[in-house]
Amino acid sequence: MKYTYANFNPCFFSPMENKNNASKRISVIIPCLNAANTIGQQLNALVHQSVAPWEVLVSDNGSTDGSQEIVHQYVDRLPKLRVIDASGYRGASHARNKGAAVATGNYLAFCDADDVVSADWISALEKAFAKHDFVASRFDYNLLNDSTVNAVQDSGLQNFRVPFLPFAGACGLGIKRSLHEAVSGFDEDFTHLEDAEYCLRVQRLGTPLFFVPDAIVHIRYSASQDHSFISSRKASFKHGYNWGNGLAKIYQRYRAEGMYLHGIIPRLAVSIFYFFRCIISGFHCDNIWKLGWHIGVLHGFIQNRIMQL
């Protein structure tokens, strides 16, 4: 998950050394859809880990751009690298679940095809798994981006504006495989914020989510080469809208358990505020993203028949 409108949770975990780290077999799962321009960088980062992953599973969601050919170039450098056919149903949730279903490690580590993990990512997760079954990486935005907008999860877990349970982006989550299976994996009906919903379900089983600051994932905002004024603003609005719409769907599921969102009237007022703020700021991407986010929540309320004023 690249964009969420969130506050940070101060809870974090510093990994401790453990003599039994070698027993933590970590399967890395990478959902992939037309990532030929970037997946080589991610695989190269996994080749150069200070502690090698148990296996790497590229779960291909139906790529048509030569992504699989790029992956096959790394077979000699990552001996336990496999491509999994996840083309049956479109979506990162389905791809992650397909990869997890055939993983042989006792721990799963999810990362994305357009990001780059740090050299000690596996090592940090391995140490964290000595004490915790559900962990989140730290995000860095400086390496792969010219500017930083909505830099979340760079100092702690993410949280909803009105605190509920914390969550983290799936592009750096680690979890014990049996726990992933206990919650039946990611909900494939969620196209956005599926990672936040997944985190809520895992924690509701009684397993807390811990932040691992030494497990760093370098986040890429966009792999697109088209950075024109109009296209970048459209992308910002779409990202915000999709995540806001997904948040409304999560709220429909969890509001009876204490989750809270502001209703239609204040949301509409804030949408109008950001509309004018976009104009005054010269259509700054951050304001456009927030406008899209609030409109996405509003539309999600209507779609899910949440008549909360």
Tens-place pLDDT, residues 74-131: 999 998 999 999 999 999 999 999 999 999 999 999 999 999 999 999 999 999 999 9
Q: Which tokens in the block code for residue 144?
A: 């792969």
Tell how strand 26-32 and strand 55-60 pair up: parallel
Tens digits of per-residue pLDDT, 54-72?
A: 999 999 999 999 999 999 9
Do 90 and 9 meet the contact criterion of CB atoms below 8 Å apart?
A: no
| Cross-strand pairs, 60 | 32, 85
Query: Which candidate, 246, 223, 202, 217, places its Cα nearest to that of 153?
Result: 217
List of residues 6+ apart from 255 with CB closer than 8 A: 261
pLDDT given at position 197? 97
Tokens 């080749």 found at: 47
Residues of the chain with pLDDT under 50: 1-21, 225
Q: What is the DSSP string of 52-71?
A: --SEEEEEESS--SSHHHHH
Phi, psi of 52 (to 5 degrees): -70, 140
pLDDT given at position 228? 81
| Cross-strand pairs, 116 | 218
Element (H, E) at 81: strand 81-85
pLDDT given at position 14? 36
Do 156 and 140 meet the contact criterion of CB atoms below 8 Å apart?
A: no
Helices 229-254 & 285-303 angle (0-180, nearest 10)? 40
Report the amino acid identity of residue 17: E
